[in-house]
A and B are shown apart, each in its own frame.
Chain A
Amino acid sequence: AQTVTQSQPEMSVQEAETVTLSCTYDTSESDYYLFWYKQPPSRQMILVIRQEAYKQQNATENRFSVNFQKAAKSFSLKISDSQLGDAAMYFCAYKGGAQKLVFGQGTRLTINP
Protein backbone atom coordinates (compact mmCIF):
# COMPACT_ATOMS: atom_id res chain seq x y z
CA ALA A 1 0.00 0.00 0.00
CA GLN A 2 1.13 3.51 -0.69
CA THR A 3 2.30 5.62 2.21
CA VAL A 4 2.81 9.35 2.53
CA THR A 5 5.27 10.79 5.03
CA GLN A 6 5.48 14.34 6.27
CA SER A 7 8.57 14.40 8.45
CA GLN A 8 8.00 17.86 9.95
CA PRO A 9 5.19 17.81 12.54
CA GLU A 10 5.61 21.56 13.07
CA MET A 11 7.18 24.44 11.19
CA SER A 12 7.31 28.16 11.79
CA VAL A 13 8.22 31.09 9.59
CA GLN A 14 8.37 34.85 9.85
CA GLU A 15 5.69 36.76 8.04
CA ALA A 16 6.74 37.64 4.45
CA GLU A 17 9.42 34.92 4.44
CA THR A 18 9.44 31.69 2.43
CA VAL A 19 8.89 28.25 3.91
CA THR A 20 9.07 24.77 2.43
CA LEU A 21 7.05 21.82 3.74
CA SER A 22 8.36 18.34 2.97
CA CYS A 23 6.44 15.33 1.72
CA THR A 24 7.70 11.97 0.54
CA TYR A 25 5.70 9.00 -0.63
CA ASP A 26 6.26 5.36 -1.31
CA THR A 27 4.83 3.82 -4.48
CA SER A 28 5.65 1.42 -7.28
CA GLU A 29 3.20 3.11 -9.64
CA SER A 30 4.28 5.40 -12.44
CA ASP A 31 1.01 7.25 -12.94
CA TYR A 32 -0.49 9.06 -9.97
CA TYR A 33 -1.58 12.42 -8.61
CA LEU A 34 -0.38 14.48 -5.67
CA PHE A 35 -2.18 17.11 -3.64
CA TRP A 36 -1.62 19.58 -0.85
CA TYR A 37 -4.55 20.48 1.39
CA LYS A 38 -4.69 23.21 4.01
CA GLN A 39 -6.70 22.96 7.22
CA PRO A 40 -7.00 26.28 9.10
CA PRO A 41 -8.36 26.44 12.66
CA SER A 42 -11.86 26.48 11.20
CA ARG A 43 -11.27 22.78 10.43
CA GLN A 44 -12.28 23.21 6.77
CA MET A 45 -10.07 21.24 4.34
CA ILE A 46 -9.04 23.43 1.42
CA LEU A 47 -7.23 22.30 -1.72
CA VAL A 48 -4.01 24.29 -2.17
CA ILE A 49 -2.35 22.74 -5.20
CA ARG A 50 -2.23 19.53 -7.24
CA GLN A 51 0.20 17.82 -9.59
CA GLU A 52 0.05 15.02 -12.13
CA ALA A 53 3.04 12.70 -11.93
CA TYR A 54 3.57 12.55 -15.68
CA LYS A 55 3.96 16.32 -15.91
CA GLN A 56 7.53 17.48 -15.48
CA GLN A 57 6.61 21.08 -14.81
CA ASN A 58 6.03 21.98 -11.19
CA ALA A 59 2.55 23.26 -10.38
CA THR A 60 2.13 26.84 -9.17
CA GLU A 61 -0.85 28.63 -7.63
CA ASN A 62 -0.05 32.25 -6.80
CA ARG A 63 2.29 32.17 -3.75
CA PHE A 64 2.18 28.37 -3.55
CA SER A 65 4.41 26.14 -5.65
CA VAL A 66 5.66 22.60 -5.49
CA ASN A 67 8.99 20.94 -6.07
CA PHE A 68 8.10 17.58 -7.55
CA GLN A 69 10.99 15.13 -7.75
CA LYS A 70 9.55 11.92 -9.20
CA ALA A 71 12.68 9.81 -8.91
CA ALA A 72 13.12 10.81 -5.29
CA LYS A 73 9.36 10.44 -4.64
CA SER A 74 9.29 13.88 -3.10
CA PHE A 75 6.58 16.54 -3.33
CA SER A 76 7.44 19.59 -1.24
CA LEU A 77 5.29 22.71 -0.93
CA LYS A 78 6.85 26.16 -1.02
CA ILE A 79 4.93 29.12 0.35
CA SER A 80 6.37 32.48 -0.65
CA ASP A 81 5.70 35.78 1.10
CA SER A 82 4.05 34.00 4.03
CA GLN A 83 0.94 35.64 5.41
CA LEU A 84 -0.78 35.28 8.76
CA GLY A 85 -3.68 33.59 6.99
CA ASP A 86 -1.37 30.79 5.88
CA ALA A 87 -1.22 29.46 9.43
CA ALA A 88 -2.79 26.02 9.28
CA MET A 89 -2.21 22.28 9.18
CA TYR A 90 -0.98 21.21 5.77
CA PHE A 91 -1.59 17.73 4.45
CA CYS A 92 0.13 16.06 1.54
CA ALA A 93 -1.94 13.42 -0.25
CA TYR A 94 -1.40 10.75 -2.91
CA LYS A 95 -3.87 9.24 -5.36
CA GLY A 96 -2.79 6.28 -7.46
CA GLY A 97 -4.38 3.44 -9.35
CA ALA A 98 -6.65 2.50 -6.47
CA GLN A 99 -8.05 6.04 -6.83
CA LYS A 100 -8.29 6.53 -3.08
CA LEU A 101 -6.64 9.54 -1.51
CA VAL A 102 -3.93 8.65 1.02
CA PHE A 103 -2.89 11.43 3.39
CA GLY A 104 0.29 12.18 5.26
CA GLN A 105 0.36 12.95 8.97
CA GLY A 106 0.26 16.70 8.48
CA THR A 107 2.55 19.66 9.26
CA ARG A 108 1.38 22.46 11.51
CA LEU A 109 2.60 25.80 10.14
CA THR A 110 2.87 28.83 12.40
CA ILE A 111 3.41 32.32 11.00
CA ASN A 112 5.27 34.70 13.30
CA PRO A 113 4.34 38.38 12.86
Chain B
Amino acid sequence: NAGVTQTPKFQVLKTGQSMTLQCAQDMNHEYMSWYRQDPGMGLRLIHYSVGAGITDQGEVPNGYNVSRSTTEDFPLRLLSAAPSQTSVYFCASSYELGGLSPLHFGNGTRLTVT
Protein backbone atom coordinates (compact mmCIF):
# COMPACT_ATOMS: atom_id res chain seq x y z
CA ASN B 1 0.00 0.00 0.00
CA ALA B 2 1.79 3.12 -1.25
CA GLY B 3 -0.32 5.68 0.66
CA VAL B 4 0.33 9.22 -0.61
CA THR B 5 2.95 9.51 -3.34
CA GLN B 6 4.50 12.84 -4.28
CA THR B 7 6.81 13.51 -7.19
CA PRO B 8 9.39 14.87 -7.62
CA LYS B 9 11.29 14.81 -4.31
CA PHE B 10 13.45 17.77 -5.30
CA GLN B 11 13.12 20.46 -7.95
CA VAL B 12 15.02 23.59 -8.90
CA LEU B 13 13.27 26.18 -11.04
CA LYS B 14 14.22 29.53 -12.48
CA THR B 15 11.99 32.51 -11.81
CA GLY B 16 9.10 32.53 -14.26
CA GLN B 17 9.16 28.83 -15.06
CA SER B 18 6.10 26.70 -14.52
CA MET B 19 5.81 23.18 -13.18
CA THR B 20 3.40 20.68 -11.69
CA LEU B 21 3.89 18.83 -8.44
CA GLN B 22 2.20 15.47 -8.62
CA CYS B 23 0.26 13.83 -5.83
CA ALA B 24 -1.53 10.49 -5.88
CA GLN B 25 -3.15 8.43 -3.16
CA ASP B 26 -4.40 4.86 -3.28
CA MET B 27 -6.53 4.88 -0.13
CA ASN B 28 -9.74 6.09 -1.80
CA HIS B 29 -9.66 9.23 0.33
CA GLU B 30 -12.12 11.95 -0.57
CA TYR B 31 -10.19 14.79 1.06
CA MET B 32 -6.85 15.92 -0.36
CA SER B 33 -4.82 19.01 0.35
CA TRP B 34 -1.55 20.81 -0.33
CA TYR B 35 0.56 22.49 2.34
CA ARG B 36 3.78 24.41 2.20
CA GLN B 37 6.30 24.30 5.04
CA ASP B 38 8.56 27.24 5.75
CA PRO B 39 10.96 27.65 8.68
CA GLY B 40 9.28 29.16 11.73
CA MET B 41 5.84 29.12 10.10
CA GLY B 42 4.73 25.53 10.36
CA LEU B 43 2.58 24.16 7.56
CA ARG B 44 0.19 26.44 5.73
CA LEU B 45 -2.72 25.25 3.61
CA ILE B 46 -2.54 26.18 -0.08
CA HIS B 47 -5.54 24.43 -1.66
CA TYR B 48 -7.76 21.53 -0.78
CA SER B 49 -10.39 19.28 -2.32
CA VAL B 50 -13.29 17.43 -0.75
CA GLY B 51 -13.86 15.21 -3.77
CA ALA B 52 -13.40 14.86 -7.51
CA GLY B 53 -14.34 18.07 -9.30
CA ILE B 54 -14.34 20.17 -6.11
CA THR B 55 -11.47 22.40 -5.02
CA ASP B 56 -11.15 25.40 -2.74
CA GLN B 57 -8.53 27.84 -1.55
CA GLY B 58 -6.64 27.60 1.68
CA GLU B 59 -4.61 30.19 3.53
CA VAL B 60 -1.94 30.90 0.89
CA PRO B 61 -3.39 30.12 -2.58
CA ASN B 62 -1.82 32.90 -4.66
CA GLY B 63 0.45 31.66 -7.42
CA TYR B 64 -0.88 28.11 -7.31
CA ASN B 65 -3.58 26.22 -9.19
CA VAL B 66 -5.11 22.83 -8.52
CA SER B 67 -7.60 20.49 -10.14
CA ARG B 68 -9.17 17.21 -9.05
CA SER B 69 -10.33 15.17 -12.01
CA THR B 70 -10.09 11.84 -10.19
CA THR B 71 -10.30 10.72 -6.58
CA GLU B 72 -6.70 9.54 -6.69
CA ASP B 73 -4.84 12.55 -8.11
CA PHE B 74 -4.46 16.14 -6.93
CA PRO B 75 -1.70 18.00 -8.82
CA LEU B 76 -0.43 21.42 -7.77
CA ARG B 77 0.60 23.81 -10.53
CA LEU B 78 2.96 26.72 -10.19
CA LEU B 79 2.14 29.03 -13.08
CA SER B 80 5.13 31.38 -12.90
CA ALA B 81 7.56 30.45 -10.17
CA ALA B 82 8.86 33.13 -7.82
CA PRO B 83 11.65 32.97 -5.21
CA SER B 84 8.96 33.36 -2.51
CA GLN B 85 7.68 29.93 -3.53
CA THR B 86 10.89 28.27 -2.40
CA SER B 87 9.58 25.85 0.20
CA VAL B 88 8.85 22.24 1.05
CA TYR B 89 5.47 21.15 -0.28
CA PHE B 90 3.37 18.40 1.22
CA CYS B 91 0.36 16.66 -0.19
CA ALA B 92 -1.98 15.07 2.35
CA SER B 93 -5.20 13.10 2.27
CA SER B 94 -7.75 11.81 4.72
CA TYR B 95 -10.78 9.57 4.67
CA GLU B 96 -13.06 12.41 5.58
CA LEU B 97 -12.79 16.10 6.25
CA GLY B 98 -14.09 16.22 9.78
CA GLY B 99 -13.54 14.65 13.12
CA LEU B 100 -10.47 12.78 14.23
CA SER B 101 -9.74 11.48 10.73
CA PRO B 102 -5.97 12.08 10.51
CA LEU B 103 -4.10 13.43 7.54
CA HIS B 104 -1.82 11.02 5.70
CA PHE B 105 1.13 12.89 4.24
CA GLY B 106 3.38 12.33 1.29
CA ASN B 107 7.14 12.63 1.73
CA GLY B 108 7.28 16.17 0.48
CA THR B 109 8.85 18.04 -2.42
CA ARG B 110 11.68 20.48 -1.78
CA LEU B 111 11.37 23.27 -4.33
CA THR B 112 14.00 25.93 -4.90
CA VAL B 113 13.28 28.90 -7.14
CA THR B 114 16.32 30.90 -8.20
Contacts and interface: CB of A to CB of B under 8 A. Distances in A.
Contacts of A47: 102-103
A103 B36 CA distance: 11
Given A100-B58, A105-B41, A45 B105 contact: yes
Interface stretch (B14-22, B75-83, B91-99): B91-99
A91 B42 contact: yes
A91 B43 contact: yes
A100 B48 contact: yes
Contact of B40 (A9, A42, A101): A9
Given A9-B40, A45-B90, A106-B42, A101 B103 contact: yes
A83 to B, nearest CB: 22
B42 A43 contact: no
Nearest to A45: B105
Contacts of A105: 40-42
A86 interface: no
A44 B43 contact: no
Contacts of A95: 98
A106 B42 CA distance: 6
Nearest to B88: A43
A33 interface: yes
A99 interface: yes
A6 B98 CA distance: 23
Interface of B: 33, 35, 40-45, 48, 58, 88, 90, 92, 97-100, 102-103, 105, 107-108
Interface of A: 4, 6, 9, 33, 35, 42-45, 47, 50, 52, 91, 95, 99-106
25 contacts: A4-B42, A6-B42, A9-B40, A35-B102, A43-B88, A43-B108, A44-B105, A44-B107, A44-B108, A45-B90, A45-B92, A45-B103, A45-B105, A47-B103, A91-B43, A95-B98, A100-B45, A100-B48, A101-B103, A103-B35, A103-B43, A104-B42, A105-B42, A106-B40, A106-B42
